[in-house]
Amino acid sequence: MMVVDVIFYAFAAVTTLAAIGVVSSRNQVHSVLFLILTFFSTAALFVLLEAEFLAALLVMVYMGAVAVLFLFVVMMLDMDVSDLKAQAINHLPLGLAVGAVILLELVVVLSHSHAHVAAASTVPNTLAIGRTLYTQYLYPFELASLILLVALIGAVVLTLRERKKVMRRQVISQQIARTRSEAVELVQRKPGEGA
Amino acid sequence: MLENYFPILLLLAVALATAVVMMAGSFLVGPKRNYAEKVAQYECGFAPLSRVRLPFDVRFYLLSILFVVFDIEAAFLFPWAVAFKDIGLTGLVEMLLFLMVLLVGYAYIWKKGALEWE
């Protein structure tokens, strides 16, 4: 199992370094690219745990779709980082609080760790998920479709602008039907008064 | 089980090595004589008028978020298809229900014209 350990530590190191890159790089586009690298190496870690479906999900959904979404958002906002830097100190307490909670959770989980995750199951990961998700967790699964529906409608409501269709076509009958009274207006102005 | 992934690891290593060798090669061997015009953004011969990072149209964002939703929908189909023989007819009905709900959403965005570019 030596080789697997080496591979694990290599991918774990890449994950950590890329995650540091996400929060420390000055260019936001670079941040997103580091995020994609983090997703990818996490997917590799999932493969090492024999959780293939989760790995595929990370590559498909997170790298394929969410990262692209992030890129669009970053490019769409095009914000000035120097403004945010000045305000960063205001958000420090909140950030520290969230970080402390996550750290606490990690400590709790790791101290009760089951040392080895149940990887040595005989059925493939995807099959096991399929068997439980569509029987035992049927209700949450159907709820997920509603959540996705809400996401769809929300995205459309928030971002879709109705565009007035501008017709620039010439309508000859309208042009011919114009009369003098609706096309010309005579205005009496005294000299020197201007418009 | 993990042995099956060895070719992918190999491919990864080769791809990484190729990229590193090419970039390092051009960095080490290539002449570097930079001047202001050369390192400026490329703008078809005239001096750059704006910055590189133009704000995107919000419609890209909409398309992208719609893609995320349908991507997740497709992701749900994989374990379903793999376990189809075990969950049988109930599974089929469940999945049809799931797809029907999203079909409503699909009809909604289609009718709203969110899929049209202009």
Supply the pLDDT for residue A104: 95
3.90.1150.10, 2.60.120.260, 2.102.10.10, 1.20.120.1200: CATH of A1-78: 1.20.120.1200
Higher pLDDT, A188 or B110: B110
Supply the pLDDT for residue A2: 84
How many whole angstroms from its chain centre is CA A101? 23
Asked if A78 is an interface residue toward chain B (Cβ–Cβ < 8 A), one would say: yes
> How far is residue B64's CA from residue B66's CA, in Å, rounded to a whole number?
5
Supply the pLDDT for residue B31: 87
pLDDT tens string, chain B, 118 residues long: the values are 778 888 988 999 999 999 999 999 999 998 888 888 777 777 777 776 766 666 667 788 888 888 899 999 999 999 999 988 888 898 899 999 999 999 999 999 998 887 887 6
Structure tokens at A33: 């690219």
So where are chain A's domains? 1-78, 122-156
Exposure letters A79-111 (e unless 16+ CB within 10 A, then b): eeeeeeeeeeeeeeeeeeeeeeeeeeeeeeeee
pLDDT at A81 over 90: no
Of B79, B84, B98, the CB nearest to A53: B79
Of A53, A130, A153, the CB nearest to B105: A153
So where are chain B's domains? 2-112
Asked if A133 is an interface residue toward chain B (Cβ–Cβ < 8 A), one would say: yes
Q: Quick one: average pLDDT of A88-92? A: 81
Structure tokens at A146: 């509603």
Supply the pLDDT for residue A37: 94
Task: Give the minimum alpha-carbon distance from A162 to chain B in angstroms, rounded to a whole number.
Answer: 9
Supply the pLDDT for residue A170: 83
Asked if A6 is an interface residue toward chain B (Cβ–Cβ < 8 A), one would say: no
CATH 1.10.10.10 given to domain B2-112: no
pLDDT at A179 over 80: yes
Asked if A155 is an interface residue toward chain B (Cβ–Cβ < 8 A), one would say: yes
Nearest CA in chain B to A160: B114
- What is this structure's pTM? 0.75
Contact A141 B76 (CB under 8 A): yes
* Tens-digit pLDDT profile for residues A29-78: 899 999 999 999 999 999 988 888 999 999 989 998 888 888 888 877 76
> How far is residue B21's CA from residue B28's CA, in Å, rounded to a whole number?
10
Task: Give the minimum alpha-carbon distance from A54 to chain B in angstroms, rounded to a whole number.
Answer: 10
